[in-house]
Amino acid sequence: MILFPQAKINLGLNVHFKRNDGYHELTTCMIPIPLYDVLEVLPAEDFEFQSSGIEIVGNPSDNLCSKAFQLMASHYTIPKVKMHLRKQIPMGAGLGGGSSDAASVLLALNQMFDLKCSDKELAVLAAQLGSDCPFFIRNKPQIGKGRGELLTDVNLDLKGKWLYLLNPAIHVSTQEAYAGIILGQNQPQTIEEIITGDIYSWKSNLKNDFEPSVFSKYPELKEIKMTFYESGAIYAAMSGSGSTLFGIFEEKPTLLFVDKDYSQWILPL
């Protein structure tokens, strides 16, 4: 079976407070975007995980795909599989690639071995692998609360718009991003209210609470966002805790950073 795990971006991200369990309570809107990894899963005599494309550092047994198989095997009697992941979504970039890969493993095993797990059951399992993983079970625009795993559908249609996605290869650790954040900022509207309103109001109202501290440490990121707006973006922001930035455009934009060693994609939404 071949699947195409999809990346996501965050449209707004508000961090409310730090919970007793060490996680942060947040609200965000996540949407899938047309940037993909490629995952092949086949029955095998022994479990095996291989990868190509972007180098994945570390022991293969620590990869989220391997952990997803082990999690499913701890709940259901399933045969061993061989997996090959063609890694194309940048890692540690706020795009959820690893979470999407893991969710795709759960979906593949459920289908291949006719486990008849519902989306809700798969999402409960996915939450054990990472806060973003449950989003990718249904892979549609959703409001995330709690750690991001408490999901509700949101009516959002960006068909016809264009996405300019840019990864500048600046690594921003999640710990680093949270360390500089100001918690509990009052927002006059919820993210869902903003998202379902006029898209031209997003620039003024839709905030990513990580941006101020991350931009102060990496001013290059703020400059990229400003370039998107100067080039006609309806909305531009950092995705998650970064460092990927994106701009949403009415018309297909031209390549803006031809002299920079950035990973860049211009994608139809």
Q: Locate tokens 């082990």: which residue? A: 70
Predicted TM-score (pTM) of the model is: 0.93
CA distances from 216 to 111, 169, 177, 205, 219 (A): 46, 17, 11, 20, 6
| Residue 2 pLDDT | 97
Residue whose C-alpha is closest to residue 224's, from 138, 172, 139, 164 = 164
Residue 119 — pLDDT band, cuts 50, 70, 90?
Answer: very high
- Total number of domains in the chain: 2
Instruction: At 5, list the tokens.
Output: 């795990």
3-state secondary structure of 175: helix
pLDDT at 17 over 90: no
Please indicate, yes or no, whether residues 186 and 243 belong to a single structural domain of this protein. Answer: yes
79 and 140 housed in the same domain: yes
**Which structural domain, as residue segments, surrounds residue 66?**
2-153
Residue 80 belongs to a domain with what CATH number? Answer: 3.30.230.10
What CATH number is attached to the domain comprising 217?
A: 3.30.70.890
Same domain (yes/no): 201, 135: no
Of 132, 153, 174, the residue at which a domain comes to its end is 153
Q: Are 148 and 177 in the same domain?
A: no
Q: Are 185 and 106 within one domain?
A: no
Final residue belonging to a domain, choices 153, 180, 210? 153
Counting residues of the chain whose pLDDT is more than 90, the rounded percentage is 80
Write the DSSP string, 51-70: EEES---S-GGGSHHHHHHH
pLDDT, tens only, 84-118 = 999 999 988 889 999 999 999 999 999 999 999 99
Q: Are residues 33 and 134 in the same domain?
A: yes
Looking at the fold, whether 19 and 57 belong to one and the same domain comes out as: yes
pLDDT at position 24 is 82
Both 199 and 67 in a single domain?
A: no
Between CA 192 and CA 91 the distance in angstroms is: 27
Q: Given 134, 153, 172, which residue is the final one in a domain?
A: 153
Active site residues: 8, 132
Q: How confident is the model at residue 233, as a pLDDT? A: 98
Does 20 lie in the same domain as 143?
yes
Instruction: Judge if 141 and 167 occupy the same domain.
Output: no
More confident residue, 117 or 171: 117
Considering the domain architecture, whether residues 182 and 127 belong to the same structural domain is answered as no
Asked whether residue 110 falls in the same domain as residue 215, the answer is no
